[in-house]
Structure 1
Amino acid sequence: NIFRSHETVSEVYFCYLLTAVKHHALKASADRSTPRSEVLSLAKQQLTNLGKLAYESLLQRKIMFDTADLKSYGVTPADVQSTFLCHILQSLEEETVEMYSFFHLTVQEHLAALYCAVNLSSQDEVIQALDFWCFGRHPESSTAACLQNIDLNMDKLESLQMFTRFFMGMLRARLAGQLDGLVHSPLQQEDGLPARLGLWFQDQFKSKKLENLAALNLLHCLLEFHMKETTSIAAPEIKTLYLFKMKLSVADCAAMHYVLQFSPHNLQDLRYNCLDKQAAFLESAVLKSNECQVKKLFMCGNNLGPEGVLELWNALEHNTTVEELYLDITGITERGTENIVNCLSKNTSLRTLTRLKELQQRRPGLRIIANFVDDLGLLQAYLDWVEEIRADRDQMDSVKNADALRSVLKGLQVAGRKVERKENAEKAEELQAKIEELLSSSTDLMGGR
């Protein structure tokens, strides 16, 4: 129920924090009618101390604290036992030394974000902070406490992504007056911040070749900020979105859906995998839009299932923009093809479709790729993916990646020597050898463990 009444994850966490403060720490000082600003004011010092601990430790990737750590931030073990902190910090038994941690990393990230949202005082500081947290660009000079004496390795940026999303949510809360009682004064030029942020996000999508996770994080940040003015400025600059070869959750797809609905849908190339049927429903809503401009849709390696793909066919029935659709390894099953002929025979834009040859009778101009080995582009995409896994063996810990590799290998084995074009045959042979090597080395590694 709490998720249904809030639009973002940040709001849910903030609601929990207010509940903990109000009902577990201020029993004698606050009741149900006490204004939010008064509740926050009463807990201001504790939240400030806790937020600073959370933030500075997060930059160091530190999640466990001893008594001395707590005391250096004005937090005592007695506080943990007797105040609302007992619902945020927990005691750990680490050998003979008593240690503490936030009861979940996301709670630490949320409190760190709240601390930063309260302590930044101008548009410039907000932009400098996002440059630093998202891309590792250190601010030249700043009076903000959270931007002074900071040090962060570039390889640690990924660990700040959830924190950055929470920050955008807490920044929105501050602009809405929901942090009154914690903040000293309004942000300088507060009214112009949504547009300024829109231009910042626009620039990231326009001038940078974003990595998969970086692009996805920006979408989540826009969702958490949840302001139409900002998203409407940024979204039109998203021309391509490559989220291929990474696992996407329903929440990821919700962020993508939220952002794209504020653009004239200039997005022309969309690639992702590891989706389930719920994500397919969200993607179908994008394809049904009258302003959709997606031309290439790569959905290889997804687990759409028959229900998800049935919805996809319905969306494509009247879509007039998608020209290429790639659907290898999607768990379609026979039931998932029940309405494909009726739906796609009415589609006038599709030019290339993997698998499903029965459509050729009704759409003789439609090029059907029966197996991914028949398409050099798909073969190369799979080769690139295998190279990524070879470079980062931790990816082999993912069951989905291992299963996907076996599915690709099975497709290669089925194709066998039937591949007609020499170049395709050579790439297929190279791909098969590399996958077999990966799976073999992964089995040996697991056996060694």
Structure 2
Amino acid sequence: MAFTGVAEKNIVFTDGDLIKYNLQPSQFLSGFLMELLEREDSARSVVYAFPHLTIQEFVAALAQFLTVDRGDITTLLIEAHGNSGGRFEVFLSFVAGLSSPRTAWILEEFLGKFPHQTICRVIDWVKGEVKRRARNTKSEADKRSFLNTMHYLFESQNPALAQQTLGSVETLSFSGLGLTPIDCAVLSHAIRLCDTIKHLNLGSCRIQCEGLQRLGPVLHKCQDLGLEYVGLTDSGAEDLASALSTKPSLTELYLSGNKLGDSGVKLVSAALRNPDCKIQTLELGSVGLTDSGAEDLASALSTNPSLTELNLTDNSLTDRCVPALRRLILTLPSLMWIMLGRNKFGPTGKKELRSLQEPRPGLTVIV
């Protein structure tokens, strides 16, 4: 009855529904259903509803494990996941969670043993869906669908399953997709379990500080971090800096479009001072950087011989920080690109910066 309600978007049930599913009003049933008095014209009748839709969805998922001769549950899962309205997302998360040995062990004390065949089919379905969705993340809809399957992986709490499904994935890209803190927790879980994931692109995901806190403990495992336009402020930068300070092998960091300000950039700069830092590409365009922050950043980066690209476009830099930028450029022979357009340099400052290209044929300075 609960599953039919989920499938048909029905949250209110009648005596006729109870009879149809061989349910009798009892003290046990009252623990799951509330009795509601419904008035229609002059007549009154009692109807039933679960205390919350989430409880209905959990009972619906539980039924798939407890129903005798379940049949082909794989077909049901495929059809439910293919529903474009997202009607079955929570239901499917519960199904995946019930395949967890720990969850089954807790519930089997009260409900009896879960059929091993059903558990295996659910695990196989999760494995197949994650692998299939991971291969196609071009559109926003594709990314959301892949992320949903990662939620199922998270609910299953099965480290071996995560490694089998994501063990060959090197890049996770959800750019442009709004991510909730729970989404970030799911990504953190996947990255923690899978050492192959090296490149993480979360540009324009609007994750903000709480989401970053969920991701912080695993960011040190990635070589390439794309965090442009995610909504970071200086407080979020503190969590990011803490994560980066333990990751000397990070090579690419994209933070453009965040409201870091000088204080946030200073925190990131502190992490970049790590003597083992191997950063090669640093994107800090449109972060609210001023001369003071730029001078601190230049000081931090001057100790990093690996830096090849630096983007400080669209900030509030003036001629005051030109000496610091010149020292940085002259100190780093590996630097090939420095982008400084849409700042507040005067003609003299621009001329001084461009002049550095003459003794360095391979250097490009864009002001």
Asked if Structure 1 and Structure 2 have the same fold, meaning a TM-score greater than 0.5 normalized by the shorter chain, the answer is: yes
1:179 aligned partner: 108
User: Higher RCO, 1 or 2 (CA under 8 Å, sep at least 6)?
Assistant: 1
Once the two structures are superposed, residues 63-119 of structure 1 have per-residue CA deviations (whole angstroms, 9 ceiling, x without a partner) of 22233233322335xx2xx51433432234554354332111111110000001223
Map of 1:220-369 to 2, 5 A cutoff? 220-271=151-202, 273-289=205-221, 292-293=222-223, 295-302=224-231, 304-317=232-245, 318-329=247-258, 331-346=259-274, 347-355=277-285, 356=289, 358=294, 359-360=297-298, 362-363=300-301, 365-369=308-312
1:72 aligns with 2:25: no
Secondary structure (helix, strand or coil) at the match of 1:274 reads coil
Q: Which amino acid aligns with 1:332?
A: L
- Is contact 1:120-1:187 (8 Å) kept? no
Question: CA offsets, 1:105-146, max 9 Å, x none?
Answer: 111110000001223868x93543432222x3xxxxxxxxxx
Is the contact made by 1:205 and 1:238 (CA closer than 8 Å) also made in structure 2?
A: no
Is 1:206–1:237's contact at 8 Å kept on the other side of the alignment?
A: no
Q: Which residue of 1 aligns with 2:65?
A: 117
- Structure 1 unaligned residues grouped into runs of 5+: 1-52, 137-153, 373-414, 419-449
C-alpha separation in 1, matches of 2:193 and 2:122: 15
Q: What SS is found at the alignment partner of 2:72?
A: helix
The residue aligned with 2:323 is none
Q: Which amino acid aligns with 1:70?
A: L
Instruction: Give 1:333 deviation, angstroms.
Output: 4.8
In 2, are the aligned partners of 1:298 and 1:326 still within 8 Å (CA)? yes
Instruction: Summarize deviations over 1:215-248 as a string: whole Å, max 9, x none.
Output: 2221221111111221110122434434344443
- Of residues 94, 118, 127, the one that matches 1:166 is 94
Shift of 1:59: 1.0
2:99 is paired with a residue whose SS is helix
Q: Does the 8 A contact of 2:134 with 2:146 survive in 1?
A: no
User: 1:89 aligned to 2:33?
Assistant: yes
The one-letter code matched in structure 1 to 2:64 is: C
Name the counterpart of 2:328: none
Structure 1 residue matching 2:311: 3-state secondary structure: strand
Matched, 1:61 2:6: no
One-letter code aligned to 1:204: R
Residues 185 and 215 in structure 2, CA contact (< 8 A), matched pair in contact too: no
Unaligned segments of structure 2, at least 5 residues: 303-307, 316-341, 346-367
Q: Are 1:276 and 1:308, in contact at CA under 8 Å, matched by a contact in 2?
A: yes
| Letter paired with 2:4 | E
**1:131 corresponds to which of 78, 87, 93:** 78
1:200 and 2:128 aligned = yes
- Alignment length (residue pairs): 293
Answer whether contact 1:205 1:237 (CA < 8 A) is retained: no
Once residues 241 and 215 of structure 2 are traced to their aligned partners in structure 1, the CA distance between those partners, rounded to angstroms, is 11
Provide the identity percentage: 19
Partner of 1:371: 314
One-letter code of the match for 1:125? D
Q: Deviations over 1:267-319 (max 9, x none)?
A: 42422523242321232222223xx34x24134142x4433211212322434
CA change 1:271–1:121 in 2 (3 A) is farther
CA contact (8 A) 2:96 2:123 kept: no
**AA in 1 matched with 2:206:** C
Whichever structure has more helix as a proportion of its residues is 1
